[in-house]
Amino acid sequence: MLSIATFIAFLALAMLGLPIAHALIVGAQLGLMPSERLGSEFIVSQLVTQTQSFPLIAIPFFMLTGSLMVGGKLGQHLIDLLSTLMGRFHGGPAQVGVMSSTIFGGVSGSAVADASAIGSLLIPWLKKLGYPPAFAAGTIAAAATIDILIPPSIPMIIYSLVSNASIGALFVAGILPGVIMCGGFMLVCYVQGRRRGFPRDTTPFDWGRFRIQLLYSLPALALPVLIIIFLRFGIATPTEVSVMSTLYALVVSWIIYRDLSMARLKHSIVDAGLATAVVMLIIMASSVIGWILTFEQLPADFVAFVQRTLGEPWMIILSMNAIMLAVGMFIDLPAAVLLLTPMFVPLAAAIGMDTVQLGIMMIINLSIGLYHPPVGTTLFITSSIAQVKMGKVVIELIPFYFVAIGILLLFAFVPAMTLRM
């Protein structure tokens, strides 16, 4: 009964427009009011306990790394390099946006940061070239979500906290779906560019210019490769890698790109601190809900009900994905991960799906909600930058939805697609 009362209170508060983290905390407080044993002291205790996890230290450092690398000259150097390399293909400038987001995923791990940084650089450029504003906004909104598949991924760290899955294993497993998603979205850009006659670069390829641009971009391109190598071969833990990546970003920005001023460093630290605070507040708030669910043995009852009702593993996997798609449309991704994981981990175990495959399936699934109305965060950001109505952007996103759902089903039903350490 406590979990039902808490859920109803949370849903009502969220529909009234209260931020998700606040709705979770207040909802838990209202839901626990009938209980004589559990009160405000219990909620405070749960909020504090959840922050004591050592792997959470990685979140602010990865956030700071992304802020340092994205906020300097890297973005423009990278776009110049990719434009020279791919601008001659059909839909090439749009493909630059997809590839930029994929590479930025290796330094930031945040789809929202990617949509803001890449969108601010590329959407005005695409509009100037003659691309429809809605298509430019849709491409960047969808491509930005590749960030949370390519390591380092903040949602994967959050998922590992609840599921006890290895962060390193999740990072390695996220590489393949990220690369396939990148290829799929680039194919959409190519087909659309060819079908609709979008402009492309027709000047001769300049090898000298390309070599200079590649040289400038190499320090940034090396970071995601180093992260994967350090994790894959057990050289360092994810937390240690996060600290080393921040030091690497500081050295590259200060010595190589020479664009690190005290003002920008302060701005990056503040941005990373604010972004971390938002994530941590959601983690703390969700821990209370998670404890209530466990206390009332709701995950076990849920598993028994689903197995009794659906029976077949393929139907259970399909149902989990349907639930995640629905939740992802209305709740921010970190909160959705924290709320759904306690329910789905025992259910996945019951049908023989391990926690790493479940995590990859969940991240791919919930990432679709980031560029799907009504609460699509990257959709709102890019639509605002492009100064175009969100409905027009959603129409342009339809091919991207089909690609993402196809990849989701592939990783949901083919366990061999999930790479292992």
The pLDDT assigned to 277 comes to: 84
Q: Are 400 and 371 in contact (CB under 8 A)?
A: yes
pLDDT level of residue 421 (50, 70, 90 thresholds)? low
pLDDT at residue 49 tops 80: no
Q: Which has more confidence, 351 or 282?
A: 351
pLDDT level of residue 34 (50, 70, 90 thresholds)? low
The pLDDT assigned to 195 comes to: 92
Residues in the chain: 421
This prediction's pTM:
0.85
The pLDDT assigned to 193 comes to: 92
Of the ranges 248-257, 283-292, 377-386, which one carries the lowest mean pLDDT score? 283-292
Output the CA–CA distances (angstroms, integers) from residue 342 to 26, 214, 289, 295, 337, in the order listed.
20, 45, 10, 12, 9
pLDDT level of residue 232 (50, 70, 90 thresholds)? confident
Q: Are 353 and 415 in contact (CB under 8 A)?
A: yes
pLDDT at residue 17 tops 80: no
Of the ranges 2-6, 121-125, 290-294, 332-336, which one carries the lowest mean pLDDT score? 2-6
pLDDT at residue 205 tops 80: no
The DSSP line for 28-45 is HHHHTTT-SS--HHHHHH
pLDDT at residue 396 tops 70: yes
The pLDDT assigned to 214 comes to: 83
Within 10 angstroms of residue 36's Cβ, the number of other Cβ atoms is 6
pLDDT at residue 304 tops 90: no
**Average pLDDT rounded to a whole number, residues 237-250:** 86
Q: Are 95 and 86 in contact (CB under 8 A)?
A: yes
Highest mean pLDDT among 33-37, 209-213, 384-388 belongs to 384-388
- Which pair of structure tokens corresponds to residue 55? 């792997």
For the chain, the domains span 1-38, 39-417
pLDDT at residue 331 tops 70: yes
**Helix count and strand count (H, E) for the chain:** 19, 0
pLDDT at residue 1 tops 70: no
pLDDT at residue 114 tops 80: no
Q: Are 172 and 152 in contact (CB under 8 A)?
A: no
Q: Are 96 and 200 in contact (CB under 8 A)?
A: no
Of the ranges 1-15, 76-90, 138-152, which one carries the lowest mean pLDDT score? 1-15
247-279 pLDDT per residue, tens: 988 888 888 878 788 888 888 888 888 888 888
CA dihedral 175, 190, 97, 282 (to 10 degrees): -50
**Average pLDDT rounded to a whole number, residues 352-370:** 93
The pLDDT assigned to 31 comes to: 65
Average pLDDT, the chain: 83
